[in-house]
Amino acid sequence: MAIKYVQNGVPTGGSYPAKRGEAAPSLCASCHDEIRGDPVMRDGKCYCCEGCAGGGPCNC
């Protein structure tokens, strides 16, 4: 699972895979739904989609 970085609502193109043995984030910091796929990172928090990362609404 890769974690995507977003800055000011724009994907930065950078990502990193979760480390072996490290649990990937599983709940969205905004809607608290399970993250199904690659999470979006903003300000050190994991979100399920660009909508939640931008303050809502969720668009999953």
Put simply, whether the predicted model's pTM sits higher than 0.95 gets the answer no
Going from N- to C-terminal start, the domains of the chain cover 2-53
pLDDT at residue number 18 = 52
Helices (H), the chain: 50-53
Ranges of residues in the chain whose predicted pLDDT is under 50: none
pLDDT at residue number 58 = 93
Q: Which residues contact 35 (CB under 8 A, 6 or more apart)?
A: 24, 25, 26, 27, 28, 46, 47, 48
Q: Which two tokens stand for residue 2?
A: 């890769």
pLDDT at residue number 60 = 85
pLDDT at residue number 47 = 93
Alpha-carbon distance 52 to 59, whole Å? 8
